[in-house]
Chain A
Amino acid sequence: MAEPSDAAGAAAGLATADAARRWRRATLVWMLVVFALFLILTLLGLLMRLAQGNTLGGLPPEVFYAVLTLHGLGMVGVWYVGAMAGVSHRLARFAAPSLAVNRLAFGGTLAGVVLLIVVTLVGRFGTGWYFLHPLPFHSGGVWPDWAVTGFFASLGVLGVSWTIWTVDLLRAIARRYSLGGALAWHVLAGRPGPETPPFILVTTATLISALAAFVAAVVVLALFVIEWLPGGAPSDPLLMKNLIFFFGHGLVNITMYLGVALVYDLLPEFTSRKLSTNRLVAAAWNLAIFLVLAVYFHHLYMDFVQPRFLQYLGQIGSYLISIPAAVISIFSTLYLVWRARVRWNLTSLFLFFGVMGWAIGGVEAVIDSTIAANFRFHNTLWVPSHFHTYYLLGVVLMILAFAHHLGEESSGLPSNGRRGRWITGLFLAGGYGLVVLFALAGADSVPRRYSTYPEELLQGVTYARVSVAFIALLLAGVLLYLWEAGRRCVRGLKA
């Protein structure tokens, strides 16, 4: 088995200063696009909460649901590509991912996003981000045929670009490491072998799971299109539901893990401690590849028609997967920091608190993946509380940390400690206020995805109004962050 020496690794993706510059530029452009979309989509989120609080005089429901769909699918997409771009950039130090594919993914993402914006804001396509079958075909007189076609086209373009990108990253890893090497099987077996950086282990395991999610996306999209075409046949709603949630859950799960890969790679640069791939780490991440496939059933608990053993599998899988996450990754993060000499700046604070968000979001996730609890929490605002914690206060912080770090490095402008702490404080105060309110509203029986709250659910209006105050705090933090990091990224582009 050939051994990837460090020197060869260094020669891998960034063989020349020129190559390094091109990679840096490509990634900086990605980050700037992520910033722009993040801001726009956050404002759409604010718009929704304002509408639900009856503060604006209410939005027409078609508009609300179009905005909801754009916000949801947009954010899922933005953070997926943000994570992929960050991971690609870091990977270029170890292996040689293709810059051409990176650019293809960029173009495909932009095209898909533009299509998505058009079908939602113009076409009023409003199925919510997971486009549950057969809702796209039952618009109730709201969205036209072309919006449905455009939506599938958008998904197709995004799916194809992202699948190619995923395969390319795996290919790049495969040229430097064997499968066993990348997944640290020799460490598991206790045999000597080349060192597998944790970043490689996590990225490889995650991208392998991503393949499953994308296959599911291809299948479900094909079935949708077959039904959509003239003379096509309908699909079984239960099968479609399974496939959609398999894909959707998979996509957001791998986004989170890619963020965690960034933490594994970047945080040690700020502390006096290092992480290595030992047996526990290897075991946890190899197990994760398969566990990820089994947990998606927790989205179907309230479909009593699902075979009972799959429901059990969903809860057991969802519970068990919390153990490696907590004992390995979250614990390791605390180990990196505990009584260590740490350079705290915006980057390291965001990485660290991102992991905290993962842990707290995980608590909510385990609660909701308890079937007995899900019976009263499913599709209430508890669910947005959970995934906003995972995203906004979890993987988003991890990716924004990377982006800030990249901007700082490429611009040469050192980070501002005081502003970094302010930004962190605003994000945390605003973000946790938002998600705790969501959770309380969910516990108070307020359903999710309601464009307006009826008189039986007036507490929903109150929660929406109060949450706007926290969104304001969050927005202040977002704007400050965009100023800090955006400025550095732009300067880095010019350098």
Chain B
Amino acid sequence: MRARAQGLTADRRGRRRRASTARAPGQLLLGVALLVLGAAAGPAQTADSARADRPPGGSSARVAGAGILPAGEPGLPREDERLYAPVFDAALVDSAGAPRRLSELWRRRPLIVTLVFARCTLICPPYLRSLQRAVGAVGGAGEDYDVAVVSFDPGDTPAAMAALAARLGLDDEPGWVFAAAASPAAARELADSLGAWVRWDPAGLATDHPAMLAAVDGGRVVRLLVGATVPPRRLREVVWELRHEFVPSYPLPSERVLFRCFRYRPDTGGVALDWGFLLLLAPGAGMLLGTVAIFGRARPGRG
């Protein structure tokens, strides 16, 4: 109880340091003794603040990554709200005019769905080009997953979707499906189930909607990517999820940490060794060096 009254209890929150004036002299001694070690450890410090890993599951409010808008801003779809939620099985008409259902597509292969307007001149064209580039970089379209570009504009015809595909050079590309919603109701239900929305002007043109894609597995949302561009490494994470490469854990972005064992590398998909791993090898190395040093110096036989 005394300690609490003096306010000298040892409580740490992250990096906040209490300016305690009553440090024990022992601590100073320890500090002096460890200066050498600190100097040796110096070059190995890693700065973590630049990491833009976005953990699946939505702590994205605390991450700023290129092309990904922080979720939680008013109106933007939140992944955690849609996680594992069922996707509406919309009736579609593909660019060849054939009627399809969205469920046909997701039963064939895991699906990346994006909602666009063929007549959109603002965000959709650059977005689709960015998506095209990312899919090209990541690979696997037509094998591990398909990409469904669906229009939720009731005014879009199959011909318009075909023309859009042609403009992007994707009309014959395996794994890419361009389709329009079969009815305004289907469009609206689909958008709702993905957390997307549209604002219309009186003339019936869309004035605003989020740029996003949804990864759909077995009819459920497993990832949402929201933002004006699609960085390849974000898409790679999405594709792993679709491939059922189950990531049992991932580190959260954090403040500067002295040493880590490894870094989670979203762009390569694995773990890269970090300086901390050397520290883990140090005991074994120390053991070998120490043994050699002790047995090397001594000459056996001399009493």
Contacts from A to B (Cβ < 8 Å): 1-4, 8, 11-12, 96, 123-124, 134, 136-150, 152-153, 156, 167, 170-171, 174-179, 181-182, 208-209, 211-216, 219, 222-223, 225-231, 233-236, 238-239, 242-243, 246-247, 250, 293, 303-305, 307-308
Interface string of B58-77 (1 = CB under 8 A from A): 00000000000000000000
**CB of B154 within 8 A of chain A?**
no
B280 and A243 within 8 A (CB):
yes
The 7 closest A-B pairs by CB, nearest first: A2-B301, A215-B286, A137-B12, A144-B3, A174-B298, A305-B249, A212-B287
Q: A145-B23, A239-B280, A242-B280 are known contacts. Are A176 and B300 too (CB-CB below 8 A)?
A: yes
A234 and B261 within 8 A (CB):
no
A219 and B282 within 8 A (CB):
yes
A170 and B260 within 8 A (CB):
no
Closest to B302 in A: A175
Closest to B7 in A: A144
Contacts of A234 in B (CB 8 A): 14-15, 255-258
Q: Within the complex, what minimum Cβ distance (angstroms) separates A444 from chain B? A: 28
> How many Å lie between the Cα of A243 and that of B14 in the bound state?
20
Which of the four size classes fits the interface of chain B? 35 or more
Closest to A307 in B: B271
Q: A153-B26, A170-B294, A242-B280 are known contacts. Are A139 and B17 too (CB-CB below 8 A)?
A: no
B276 and A150 within 8 A (CB):
no
B301 and A293 within 8 A (CB):
no
A170 and B11 within 8 A (CB):
no
Contacts of B248 in A (CB 8 A): 304-305, 308
Using A2-B302, A215-B287, A223-B279 as known contacts, list a sample of 20 further A-B pairs with CB atoms less than 8 Å apart, ordered by residue number in A.
A136-B10, A143-B3, A144-B3, A144-B6, A152-B30, A153-B30, A174-B295, A178-B300, A181-B300, A211-B287, A212-B286, A212-B287, A222-B34, A227-B258, A233-B258, A234-B14, A234-B255, A239-B280, A243-B279, A303-B249
B284 and A293 within 8 A (CB):
yes
* Set B256, B282, B290: member contacting A167, Cβ < 8 A: B290
> How many Å lie between the Cα of A227 and that of B22 in the bound state?
18
Contacts of A124 in B (CB 8 A): 3
18 A-B pairs with C-beta separation under 8 A = A145-B22, A147-B10, A148-B10, A149-B23, A150-B26, A156-B30, A167-B290, A170-B295, A175-B302, A176-B301, A212-B283, A212-B287, A229-B27, A236-B257, A236-B276, A243-B280, A246-B280, A305-B250
Contacts of B303 in A (CB 8 A): 8, 11-12, 96, 175
Q: Within the complex, what minimum Cβ distance (angstroms) separates B53 from chain A? A: 13
B258 and A174 within 8 A (CB):
no
B279 and A219 within 8 A (CB):
yes
Interface string of B15-27 (1 = CB under 8 A from A): 1010110111011
Pick out which of these stretches binds chain A: B37-45, B78-86, B200-208.
B37-45
**CB of B167 within 8 A of chain A?**
no
Q: A225-B34, A226-B38, A238-B261 are known contacts. Are A233 and B256 too (CB-CB below 8 A)?
A: yes
* Set A149, A175, A222: member contacting B299, Cβ < 8 A: A175
A146 and B8 within 8 A (CB):
yes
B24 and A230 within 8 A (CB):
no
A2 and B300 within 8 A (CB):
yes
Contacts of B256 in A (CB 8 A): 233-234
**CB of B297 within 8 A of chain A?**
yes
Interface string of B108-150 (1 = CB under 8 A from A): 0000000000000000000000000000000000000000000
B15 and A144 within 8 A (CB):
no
* Set B9, B249, B287, B290: member contacting A144, Cβ < 8 A: B9
Q: A211-B286, A215-B286, A243-B279 are known contacts. Are A226 and B261 too (CB-CB below 8 A)?
A: no
> How many Å lie between the Cα of A211 and that of B283 in the bound state?
7
A-B CB pair tally, cutoff 8 Å:
190
B301 and A4 within 8 A (CB):
yes
Q: A145-B20, A215-B282, A219-B282 are known contacts. Are A229 and B31 too (CB-CB below 8 A)?
A: yes
Contacts of A140 in B (CB 8 A): 11
A145 and B258 within 8 A (CB):
no
Q: Within the complex, what minimum Cβ distance (angstroms) separates B263 from chain A? A: 10
> How many Å lie between the Cα of A250 and that of B38 in the bound state?
25
> How many Å lie between the Cα of A171 and that of B298 in the bound state?
7
Closest to A215 in B: B286
Q: Within the complex, what minimum Cβ distance (angstroms) separates B8 from chain A? A: 4
B38 and A174 within 8 A (CB):
no
**CB of B4 within 8 A of chain A?**
yes
Q: Within the complex, what minimum Cβ distance (angstroms) separates B133 from chain A? A: 32
Interface string of B267-301 (1 = CB under 8 A from A): 00001000010011011111100111011011111
Q: Within the complex, what minimum Cβ distance (angstroms) separates B82 from chain A? A: 24
A171 and B294 within 8 A (CB):
yes
Contacts of A208 in B (CB 8 A): 287, 290-291
* Set A136, A149, A215, A293: member contacting B24, Cβ < 8 A: A149
> How many Å lie between the Cα of A236 and that of B45 in the bound state?
12
**CB of B169 within 8 A of chain A?**
no
Closest to A170 in B: B294
**CB of B240 within 8 A of chain A?**
no
B301 and A304 within 8 A (CB):
no
> How many Å lie between the Cα of A242 and that of B284 in the bound state?
13
Q: A11-B303, A174-B294, A208-B291 are known contacts. Are A225 and B30 too (CB-CB below 8 A)?
A: yes
Closest to A216 in B: B283
> How many Å lie between the Cα of A242 and that of B260 in the bound state?
11
Contacts of B292 in A (CB 8 A): 179
A215 and B301 within 8 A (CB):
no
> How many Å lie between the Cα of A137 and that of B12 in the bound state?
5
B27 and A293 within 8 A (CB):
no
Q: Within the complex, what minimum Cβ distance (angstroms) separates A140 from chain B? A: 7
Q: Within the complex, what minimum Cβ distance (angstroms) separates B127 from chain A? A: 34
Q: Within the complex, what minimum Cβ distance (angstroms) separates B17 from chain A? A: 6
Contacts of B295 in A (CB 8 A): 170, 174, 178-179, 182
A167 and B294 within 8 A (CB):
yes
Q: Within the complex, what minimum Cβ distance (angstroms) separates B23 from chain A? A: 7
> How many Å lie between the Cα of A402 and that of B276 in the bound state?
41
Q: Within the complex, what minimum Cβ distance (angstroms) separates A192 from chain B? A: 17
B301 and A209 within 8 A (CB):
no
> How many Å lie between the Cα of A177 and that of B300 in the bound state?
5
